[in-house]
Structures are given as C-alpha cells and as structure tokens.
Amino acid sequence: MIEIRELVLWLDRLCRWGISLFFLVAAVPKLFNVTEFAAVIDAYGILPDPLLLPVAVVLPVMEIVLAVGLLLNRFSSKIGVAVLLLVFIAILSYAIWLGLDIDCGCFGPEDPESQAFHGLKTALIRDIAMLLPLAYSLWCHRYRFNYIPIQGDRGK
C-alpha cells in the first residue's frame, strides 16, 4: 500500500515538473526571437527603450534557470517562480485595466495562443492558477515532505 508521504511527494513532483515544463516551453521561443520579444514587451509601455533588449534576454534566461531549479527542488527557485508569477500577474492586470489588446508574450512573439484566445485575460487566469501547485510545492518544502533520509540520519 502506498504511504501518504509517498503520495504527497509524487504530487509535489508533478506540480514542480508541470510548472518547470511550462516555463521551459515559454522561455525557449523568446530566446530565438529576442528583438521581436522586445517589441512585445514594448507594447506594454512599462519599460524605457534602453531596457527593452536587456529584459528580453534576461527574462527567458531567468525562466530557464528557475525551471531547472524547480526540477532540482530548490527552494530559492520556488520563491523565484512565485515572484515572477506575481510580477506577470501585476503586469497583465495593469494591461487589462488599460484596455490593451496586445499579445501577452508568454510563449514568445509568435504566440499562437494569443491569436486564438486574445491572450491577456487567459494568461492572467493561467498565471493565477499556476500559483496553486506552486503553493502546494512550497508547503511540501516547508513541512519537509521532500526529506529523504541518508543512511544513519535520524531525520533531524
């Protein structure tokens, strides 16, 4: 019979792997179209022109680093993803409030999702929804459900 602890661990892994896969799939197209992604960022009207290209490079790299950290179950990556999602939620909320009808830029400049669903509200709901499995993973980390004892260790 499967123990509750094992079930909790597997659910935590699935949550982390799902979010990690999402971030990897979102980051790679942005790296291949940096100038177009900078134009998508510019459409939000938040950053000055000199910062557009650096942010268009740093953001996907950060997403990849955080995704790998999630795969490795790093607490700092979980916090980093939470902060990034909260920033995305704030920016998307601001864009919706302004009434912008633009590509969310979530999956790069040629995002087919944004063409099909007119992306901002869908992206906002998706980002909020991603906080739930992330919160579960943080809870598991906090209560040490991911603790794997080493031989001779008494689980302190």
Q: Residues 10-42: pLDDT tens digits?
A: 999 999 999 999 999 999 999 999 999 999 999
Q: Residues 63-86: pLDDT tens digits?
A: 999 999 999 999 999 999 999 999
**String of DSSP letters for 62-88:** HHHHHHHHHHTT-HHHHHHHHHHHHHH
**String of DSSP letters for 124-152:** HHHHHHHHHHHHHHHHHHHTTTT--PPTT
* Domain spans, the chain: 4-142
- pLDDT of 141 reads 82
Among 43, 42, 60, smallest CA distance to 52 is for: 42
Among 126, 141, 130, smallest CA distance to 81 is for: 130
Distance CA 68, CA 131 (A): 18
Q: Residues 104-151: pLDDT tens digits?
A: 888 876 655 555 446 799 999 999 999 999 999 999 887 765 555 444
pLDDT at 95 exceeding the cut of 80:
yes
pTM here? 0.83
pLDDT at 60 exceeding the cut of 60:
yes
- pLDDT of 150 reads 42
- pLDDT of 153 reads 38
* Distance (Å) of CA 103 to CA 26, 107, 113, 135, 140: 14, 10, 9, 27, 35
Distance CA 95, CA 119 (A): 11
